[in-house]
Structure 1
Amino acid sequence: MSKKFHVYVISDSLGETGEMMARAAAEQFGGNEYEIKRYPFISNEEQIMEIVEEASAHRSIVLITTVLVNLRDKLREECSRYNIPMVDLLIPVMDVFSNFLGLEPAGEPGLVHRLDERYFKKVEAVEFAVKYDDGKDPRGVKKADLVLVGISRTSKTPLSMYLAHKNIKVANIPLVPEVPVPEELFEVPANRIIGLTTSPYKLNEIRLERLKALGLDSQASYADMGRILEELEYSEKLMKKLGCPVIDVSSRAVEETANIIVEIMKKNMLI
């Protein structure tokens, strides 16, 4: 039986071209199970580091469609660091155009979607997710279509970005026992809040990998099982108080969890 592989499609725009090419190529190798993960609107090096770090935990290939030189260089650097094969889908084509026309490319992402109304809505949703990520501004919870709550490393940010691609404005709030949640959260209807939880063992594994990637001591309280159980107990109590639906993300890919959320929102007539 063949071993499953993952294809990470990273783009500074929608990433649709990359996903289509990834699927077309993967299907030529029948009998090999694969999963495609698309990350649109990537705009900074920190996002790239997190995505490539995640890819390093799997048998992965990275495909990129970005016209921004600094992001392309960072992707090459990170993929090389983790020994992950990377394919730049745009550069060979742009080089041919550049040589033929005698011009340099504009280096501006998303031009093909500039006049697309849906594209603008996606951009607005992505900007919203970035602005109100990780509880940066609690006022966002009252403006959001959806609020995600959960302790650290329960996929709040990846889910926010993925749902933004579906034109859903998401704010997310980290749950920490020592830090009170913003009062605004209790003013949001329960059907517009989703709680995220996970297995303590899975969380321990993820947090240990995170500490290792950051070069920090694996004995730090962040990955301590006692601390993890304390955080999960606190989050469970708070979610019960909020009366919101709760999704266990332990064995689910971001896409699967996002689809569950979309179905909940449709059922509640929020989209």
Structure 2
Amino acid sequence: MIIYIISDAVGETAQRVVQATLLQYPELKPVIRTYPFVTTVDELAPIMQDAVAEQAIVTVTFVAAKLVTWATAFAQQHQLQLIDYMSPLMQALTTQTGTKPLAQPGMLHTINADYFKKVAALDFAVAHDDGQSLQTLAKADLVILGVSRTSKTPVSLYLAEQRIKVANIPLLPNNPLDEAVYQLPKEKLIGLTISPQRLQKVRQKRMVGLGLSADNYYTDVTSIEKELDYAHAIFTKLQITPIDTTERSVEETAALIMQR
């Protein structure tokens, strides 16, 4: 079996859908031929003729109406199986809203200012993870504080996807908080907390995942309570109200932060 993927852009949309569909047929190993940047009928015609010769299934993601019309007519004439991934939804959107599509290929890959802002935020989060790069802490939009395993890193990365530059700093009883944190506006500061019992389970799971004993000082509930007490003392000093992550997902925690 042969599958053609033809697009007036890269063809990534069709590739993803095809691959997702093939996961439902693990026994099938089709040959997949991809034809990107097909923007004229003259370019499309020989590809479609080859598809007829190979009895291929053809998938297309065209935004140009003339290519869709020609490909559909050709497929009907030659009894070729053709799946158009974009036109039906575009037609439905136009019919319901009266809004015409831009018909501009490759918009999925348009690199603009927003894209670079996202990349910059992700780079910032990685560079300022777990108390790193404190000398540039003032450039952060937000600084997340909390003891180990309170979801500081995943929340930071999730917010970075929203184009927010986030640093995160662990709170350790025997490691005084850097003075730079106290110089920040409290509006930039976010505290994360969690119940001792939940944190114990999270840390035990982490230890097992690393191939270590689940029972040690790091997972001892008494030690954890002392860490959390220290963290709450810091939150009080910084005049911030922490967010309890005990029963919250990363997305829920991030949403609360965005509200603040």
Alpha-carbon deviation of 1:245? 2.8
Cα distance in structure 2, aligned partners of 1:252 and 1:93: 43
Alignment of 1:262 with 2:199, yes or no, is no
- Does residue 1:205 correspond to 2:191, yes or no? no
Structural mapping, 1:124-139, within 5 Å: 124-139=120-135
Counting only pairs closer than 5 Å after superposition, residues 1-271 of structure 1 correspond to structure 2 as: 95-97=32-34, 112-113=108-109, 115-264=111-260
Aligned counterparts of 1:249 and 1:178: Cα–Cα separation in 2? 23
Report the residue type matching 1:127 in the other structure. D
In 2: Cα distance, 1:151 partner to 1:157 partner: 11
TM-score by length of 1: 0.58
Paired positions, count? 170
Partner amino acid, structure 1, of 2:121: A
| Structure 1 residue 112, shift from structure 2 partner | 4.7
Give the structure 2 partner of residue 78 of structure 1.
none
**2:4 matched to which residue of 1?**
none
Letter in 1 for 2:33: V
Paired residue type of 1:215: G
Which deviations, in whole Å up to 9, do the C-alpha atoms of 1:196-248 show, x marking residues without a partner? 00010100000000000001112211101111001000000001001123100
Whole-Å separation in 2 of the counterparts to 1:263 and 1:165: 16
1:140 is displaced (CA, Å) by 3.2
Tell me the SS of whatever aligns to 1:171: strand
Aligned to 1:9: none
Tell me how far apart the structure 1 counterparts of residues 124 and 109 of structure 2 sit (CA, whole Å): 19
Alignment-derived partner of residue 48 in structure 1: none
Task: Write the distance in 2 (CA, Å) between the matches of 1:128 and 1:95.
Answer: 39
Report the residue type matching 1:97 in the other structure: T
Give the % identical residues. 43
Deviation at 1:116, TM superposition (A): 2.2
Q: CA deviation at 1:113?
A: 3.6
Q: Which runs of 5+ in 2 are unaligned?
A: 1-12, 36-46, 48-106
RMSD value, Cα: 2.9
Which SS does the other structure have where 1:152 is aligned? coil
Secondary structure of 2:246's partner? coil
Deviations 1:27-80 (A, max 9, x none): xxxxxxxxxxxxxxxxxxxxxxxxxxxxxxxxxxxx99xxxxxxxxxxxxxxxx
- Normalising by structure 2, what TM-score? 0.60
Aligned residue type for 2:191: G
Structure 1 residue 139: Cα displacement: 2.0
Change (3 A) 1:250 1:93: farther
